[in-house]
Amino acid sequence: MGKSHHMNFTKDVSLAPYTTFKIGGPAEFFYEAGTIEEIVESVSQARALDLPVTLLGGGTNILIGDKGIRGLVIKNNTGAITIRGMKASYRSGKKVGSVYVEADSGVLFNKLVRFTVDEGLGGLEAHLGLPGTVGGAIYMNSKWTKAASKDAAQGIVTQNNRRRYFGTLPMPTSYVGDAVYQATILTPQNETKIVDRTFFRFAYDTSAIQKTGDIVLQVVFALTPGEKDGLWKVANHSIAYRRVSQPQGVKSSGCTFRNLSPAEAISVSSPNQTTSAGFLVDHAGLKGLKIGDAQISPVHANFIVNNGHASARDVVELIELARRKVKEQFGIELVEEIVRVGEF
Ligand SMILES: Cc1cc2nc3c(=O)[nH]c(=O)nc-3n(C[C@H](O)[C@H](O)[C@H](O)COP(=O)(O)OP(=O)(O)OC[C@H]3O[C@@H](n4cnc5c(N)ncnc54)[C@H](O)[C@@H]3O)c2cc1C
């Protein structure tokens, strides 16, 4: 790292424009990092001043409090993608080759998917359409439904026929963490470390850094050479299915609640023991409900949308109401997927 020089932190920057919810108060200090060195340097300077540090990726999975975030908020604009090399390895006795692709944590996930699919590399194609950055996707272990049938993979899923393809059965899921090989992290003690996939203990909506507070700087993905046309088919199917299953063109932070565990799903008398949190919110009669400008989406009950000038308070009240009603009716404690950040 070069010699330290004083960085330009801006005071009192409104964060709402940096989120897809368009909600949230100001950052006490704000800095846009364009390189990994700038992240490391700004974190170290903030910590030397005893300022807490918050990394902001695409702002697509967070709810920032109306009173904003104390300390330094770093908007991650890093964007490099590099093919690092190739290695033959053995999987269940079969020789397969891996290609290693390294991405800065600020790379938009969609850009990474398009890049790898264009290179004919398999492993991330199911995630085309995932908003946000590589760092946010590692923090959340973001996921998507794998193409459920050959027909569906042709990209011909519509609102009318989606039940035929998918029913209400739990669908197989692809996790971003599945393709991770290793990552460079910055620890709370300001050390830069290389860690492998197991470090993250990836599980549904879970990665170890949610507890450790490590910052992800770069990630190396292990990908498998594949057939470009086939990979694009899966990628395009993912987009097509997103269009029919998620509200489009609204201000939101994606799914509000985590889906149920299979054990919880069994305890609820729902069709096919669905694990869908949205199903419970819907069947508690809450679809379309409004508090202020915040509304439970009439399209997808697990999305909360901002119809104009919703406050974080409005959203929190809707969340609490939904949790209370679902608990009363189904005995299930819904857990939030959206990450609350800052002061409310
Ligand atoms: C329309 C819509 C559709 C969505 N669909 C899906 C979906 O299909 N599947 C899914 O899983 N999610 C989905 N999401 C949620 C969200 O897009 C993903 O979880 C995404 O990966 C979050 O990335 P981000 O960069 O926006 O994270 P942010 O919202 O910016 O941050 C989320 C958390 O990660 C932390 N973080 C960010 N970068 C770093 C870093 N470099 N190091 C350490 N911590 C970091 C932040 O501090 C914060 O706590 C959707 C959201 C929307 C709005």
What is the DSSP pairing of strand 180-186 with strand 26-33?
unpaired
* Phi, psi (deg, nearest 5) at residue 229: -60, -40
Mean pLDDT of 169-198: 89
CATH number of the domain residue 139 falls in: 3.30.465.10
Distances in Å between the Cα of 149 and the Cα atoms of 128, 152, 233 are 17, 5, 12
Mean pLDDT of 3-16: 84
In a domain, 1, yes or no: no
Quickly count helices (H) and strands (E) in the chain.
10, 18
Task: State the amino acid at position 30 in one-letter form.
Answer: F
Of 180, 213, 245, the residue that ends a domain is 245
Question: Does one domain contain both 153 and 87?
Answer: yes
Of 245, 280, 297, the residue that ends a domain is 245
Give the Cα separation of 18 and 321 in Å (integer).
27
Closest CA to ligand 1's atom 52:
254
Ligand 1 atom with least separation from CA of 242: 8
Question: Does one domain contain both 135 and 201?
Answer: yes
In the chain, the number of structural domains is 3
Of 76, 95, 113, the residue that ends a domain is 76
Question: Does one domain contain both 138 and 263?
Answer: no
Mean pLDDT of 164-185: 74
CATH number of the domain residue 291 falls in: 3.90.78.10
Question: Does one domain contain both 232 and 87?
Answer: yes
Ligand 1 atom with least separation from CA of 55: 47
Question: What confidence tier does 156 reach under pLDDT thresholds 50, 70, 90?
Answer: very low
Distances in Å between the Cα of 74 and the Cα atoms of 132, 145, 305, 337 are 15, 31, 25, 22
pLDDT of 268 above 90 = no
The pair of structure tokens assigned to 79 is 């964007």
> Considering the chain, what is the average pLDDT of its residues?
89
Cα angle 36, 85, 207; round to 5: 55
CB of 278 within 6 A of ligand 1: the answer is: no
Domain of 281, in residue numbers: 251-341
In a domain, 2, yes or no: no
Question: For residue 184, what are the β-bridge partners?
Answer: 194, 218
Distance 153 CA to ligand 1 centre (A): 25
Question: Does one domain contain both 115 and 181?
Answer: yes
CATH number of the domain residue 56 falls in: 3.30.43.10
In a domain, 5, yes or no: no
Question: Does one domain contain both 189 and 216?
Answer: yes
CA end-to-end distance (rounded Å), the chain = 37
User: DSSP state, 221?
Assistant: E
**H or E element that contains 165:** helix 162-166
pLDDT of 273 above 80 = no
Question: Does one domain contain both 67 and 144?
Answer: no
pTM: 0.91
Mean pLDDT of 184-213: 96
Distance 97 CA to ligand 1 centre (A): 30
Question: Does one domain contain both 27 and 116?
Answer: no
Question: Does one domain contain both 91 and 69?
Answer: no
Distance 58 CA to ligand 1 centre (A): 7
In a domain, 3, yes or no: no
Cβ pair 224, 123 in contact under 8 A: yes
pLDDT of 158 above 70 = no
The pair of structure tokens assigned to 136 is 């946010």
Question: Does one domain contain both 228 and 260?
Answer: no
Question: Does one domain contain both 232 and 300?
Answer: no
pLDDT of 166 above 90 = no
Cβ pair 315, 293 in contact under 8 A: no
Ligand 1 atom with least separation from CA of 142: 11
Structure-token match 């919880």, residue found: 264
Question: Does one domain contain both 120 and 226?
Answer: yes
At 5 the pLDDT is: 60
Task: State the amino acid at position 232 in one-letter form.
Answer: W
In a domain, 97, yes or no: yes
CB of 143 within 6 A of ligand 1: the answer is: yes
CB of 246 within 6 A of ligand 1: the answer is: yes
In a domain, 117, yes or no: yes
List pLDDT tens digits, range 203-259.
989 999 999 999 999 999 999 998 999 999 889 888 888 888 788 899 999 999 998
